[in-house]
Amino acid sequence: MVRSSPFKEGWIVAFDEITDRTTAESWRDRTLLLPENEVDPPGADEMFIHDLVGMRVDRASGELVGQVTEVFELPQGLLFEVSRPDGTTVLLPFNEQTVTAVDAEQRLIQVDPVDGLID
């Protein structure tokens, strides 16, 4: 990589190997991935998005909702799919209004969803 700079919701990145606009355009809207061991570890109150998968989800009351089976990164924010004990699934937004606590050590996400979002 030669240089990079933030631009709108992403980055503009220049590489030695991409020397013309046509080639550069073929890389537009791509996601670049790195092996996890080459990424700085998350901070004290952070975690990787993929680490949410498999976490238990409980209501603030302690009632089991289920287990996170998938996380979707959408323009509106994160949405996580929860597999319920009865075999159904529910999609919940990962935002301040829904998620009240995340305990990485206990692998627990506590939620307080608006009425009707789960039931």
Report the pLDDT value the prediction gives residue 1, as an integer from 0 to 100: 66
The pTM assigned to this predicted structure is 0.75
Residue 99's DSSP bridge partners are 111
Map out the domains of the chain with their CATH numbers. Answer: 3-32 (no CATH), 49-111 (2.30.30.240)
Per-residue pLDDT tens over the stretch 19-33: 898 998 888 888 878
Long-range residue pairs from 113-119, CB within 8 A, at least 24 positions apart, any chain: 113/59, 117/90, 117/92, 118/59, 118/65, 118/90, 118/92
Token pair of 73 as six digits = 């990164």
From CA 67, how far away is CA 45, in angstroms rounded? 21
Residue 12's pLDDT band (cuts 50, 70, 90): confident
Listed residue (43, 41, 47, 39) closest to 109, CA to CA: 47
**Confidence at residue 28, expressed as pLDDT on a 0 to 100 scale:** 83
